[in-house]
Amino acid sequence: MNRQQILLALSLREADLGIKVATFDDRLILQKAVCLLQYDGVNLAYRFRWHLRGPYSSELASDAFFLAAHRTLLDEELKAWKLDEQSKARINQIKDLFSGLEVRALVKRLELLASILFMVRTGQAKPDDWKPIDDLLKINGKQFTETHIKEALATLSQYGFIH
Amino acid sequence: MALSTDPISKRKIVADSIHGDIELSKTEWGVVDTATFQRLRSLKQLGMGHLVYPNATHTRFAHSLGVFGIMSRILVKLSKNQGKNLKPDEEANLRMAALLHDIGHYPYSHLMERVDAVQLTEEELEVVNGQKEISAARTPYPDHEALGRQILESQSDICAAIGSVNRAREIGALFSRLDVADPQLSKLIHSSLDMDRLDYLLRDAKAAGVPYGQIDLNYLLSNIRLSPKGVLGVEYKALAAAEHFLLARHFMHRVVYYHKTIYGFEEACRQLLRRMRDSGVYDLARNGDEVKTLCSGPELLSFTDNYVDELIREAANEEKKDPIIQTLARCISSRTPPKLLAEVGGLQNKNERFHSGTHFRSLCKTQLPDLAKRLGIRLGQFLLCGPKPIKVEERSALLTSTEAKNLKPEEKEELIKVFVRGEDEPKSMVEINGSLINHLADHPYGIYRLYLADLSKDAPKRLPDISREVQKWTQPN
């Protein structure tokens, strides 16, 4: 396993997520959570592109499938490593975003948060204007309401992702 | 400005050894003519490939023009095949994005960009009885697309040639596939069947002098079209050409990109650069922020293969503290490749899933410290590497065909799509029962390798014994 894969596994463990890839919902949660972790300053070095359901990294998908297929080896390797304290603190600041809801609701929450943040950080939308975000989401066939978007913007602000 | 609105007298024609004449508009030529774009002449396309294939010295500059040439042809084909014309500014941006897709490339191809994607043999072995901290706090070296966006916005010559910072941003979003408003457009640059691959397979094969990358470009381009939902695919009659394209890529990896000697040199260089960066002694960007700073100023023009060559020379010649750094550097500078002690794996059955490789790796971990101690060789001279598994099709190398078929559209966007007769929307080849790819998806090609970088005078004598001992670790339980 390389440094990037070990960092990924340690970060997901710290976020109480683990490497789950069995269902599409599992994989979507993993994708959007890693995207949010990266925007939070946990530098896992995955490259996200825009897909049907928002930011998506094929390199991350490959690594997640690889780690899931090698769980025994991974457990063995992780014994030798621990995550730095600064990254742990960052993960702990936002990890309740990844829990507290049933799976379908969690998928929707993370999809919206990661999508909005991706638009803002790539300069395609502004954090203080929900309408262009709504327009872009509609172009992509999303069914989020004005309330959903405004709540997501408030959450992103509350967690320090946008100002 | 789109080509069609450019007066003929203002156009430029470049003769390319792969695609023939490539025609550029005045604006496009203005971009090529900037010092920032000309830097690509000093970046070899195939990294250290020329150390094995002497003519493989072609550059990112030629490749970028080639990708541009293919994009120009695709846009004509799409318009001819279905009478669909993009808006002039969309067409102009796609052409420009193709031209600039590699503007942020690091020296020596992907080598420097993936400096942290190395196995952590020595570091791991050092911590058998405890835990070692690994940090996600340091900003990693950005990928070349992120660096490309930074360059387009910060280098005034290229930004002015493009026209404005806003347009530079649009183009950067296209070649990075960040565009939320029209994600289908940038798939022409990023997908399994993208312009980048169509060019590099042909160009690398020709330069290396091997036949494996000879794809049927003309037939593929003649049979490409967009679905009613805007998804790019090839007609069913071109299925064989699309399969051949993926197989060509597979063989090019085995014969060129993962060639044992080339990969040995590149792994030595990756390990060398990581050690130099982490030592803090050398003048090498210590994190991603420093790389971005370097690429935003005039120093960008020196950020070429020569930048790494100088670092290697410095490390090879100076008596600095770290003998492993010196050994790795001298291996490269004297063209004494790390010797391949063992290779495990190959084409695997889906149920094996690389187990022989992981078994070998586990044995390396437990046995290497003892072997190194007995022979008086530093652990860091052993280079254990697992190149990324070769995917016949995107990601399917790690999945069984059932798993691959069960992926959702979100996860299959980058797969090559084929228009099956009678259906409006194309399907990925993994889903087509009659396709070779459907079956090959069950057989990933993955390997682990162990090299030794050894320049001592005893090396020729002791190497066969070391190799024999390591070979024992390759046997199954």
pLDDT at B361 over 80: yes
Lowest mean pLDDT, pick from A47-51, A74-78, B197-201:
A74-78
Q: Is A136 on the interface with B (CB under 8 A)?
A: yes
pLDDT top residue among B73 and B110: B73
Q: Is A43 on the interface with B (CB under 8 A)?
A: yes
Q: Is the residue at B354 inside a domain? A: no
Quick one: average pLDDT of B378-388?
A: 86
Residues in chain B, total? 477
Angle between helices B355-375 and A71-78 (to 10 degrees): 30
Share of chain B above pLDDT 70, in %: 87
Q: Test B411 with A27 for CB contact under 8 angstroms.
A: yes
Residues of A in contact with B361 (CB under 8 A): 73
Average pLDDT value over all residues in chain B = 87
Q: Is the residue at A97 inside a domain? A: yes
Q: Is the residue at A108 inside a domain? A: yes
d(C-alpha B465, C-alpha B473), whole Å:
13
Q: How many domains does chain A have?
A: 1
Q: Test A82 with B133 for CB contact under 8 angstroms.
A: yes
pLDDT at A69 over 70: yes
Identify the band that residue B390 occupies on the pLDDT scale cut at 50, 70 and 90.
confident
pLDDT at A1 over 70: yes
Q: Widest CA span of chain B, in angstroms?
A: 74
Q: Is A87 on the interface with B (CB under 8 A)?
A: yes
Domain of residue B61, CATH code: 1.10.3210.10
Quick one: average pLDDT of A78-96?
A: 93
Q: Is the residue at A163 inside a domain? A: no
| Residue spans of alpha helices (H) in B115-164 | 121-126, 144-154, 156-162
Q: What does DSSP say about strands B427-428 and B445-452: parallel, antiparallel, or unpaired?
A: unpaired
Q: Is the residue at B356 inside a domain? A: no
Which residue is it, tokens 């490309």?
A: B148
User: What radius of gyration, in Å, describes the C-alpha atoms of chain B?
Assistant: 24
Is residue A60 within 8 A of residue A67, CB to CB? The reply is no
Q: How many domains does chain B have?
A: 1
Identify the band that residue B444 occupies on the pLDDT scale cut at 50, 70 and 90.
confident
| Facing residue for A81 by CB, picked from B134, B358, B408 | B134
pLDDT at B3 over 80: no
d(C-alpha A13, C-alpha A26), whole Å:
15
Q: B75 lies in which domain range? A: 3-337
Q: A127 lies in which domain range? A: 3-158
pLDDT in tens, B290-316: 999 999 999 999 999 999 999 999 999
d(C-alpha A36, C-alpha A160), whole Å:
11
Quick one: average pLDDT of B35-58?
A: 97
**Helix, strand, or coil here: B409?**
helix
Q: Is the residue at B69 inside a domain? A: yes
**Looking at this predicted complex, what is its ipTM?**
0.83
pLDDT in tens, B79-110: 776 666 678 888 899 999 999 999 999 999 88
d(C-alpha B192, C-alpha B190), whole Å:
7
Identify the band that residue B15 occupies on the pLDDT scale cut at 50, 70 and 90.
very high
Tell me the whole-structure pTM to 2 decimals.
0.90
Lowest mean pLDDT, pick from A91-100, B7-16, B324-333:
B7-16
Q: Is the residue at A91 inside a domain? A: yes
Identify the band that residue B123 occupies on the pLDDT scale cut at 50, 70 and 90.
low
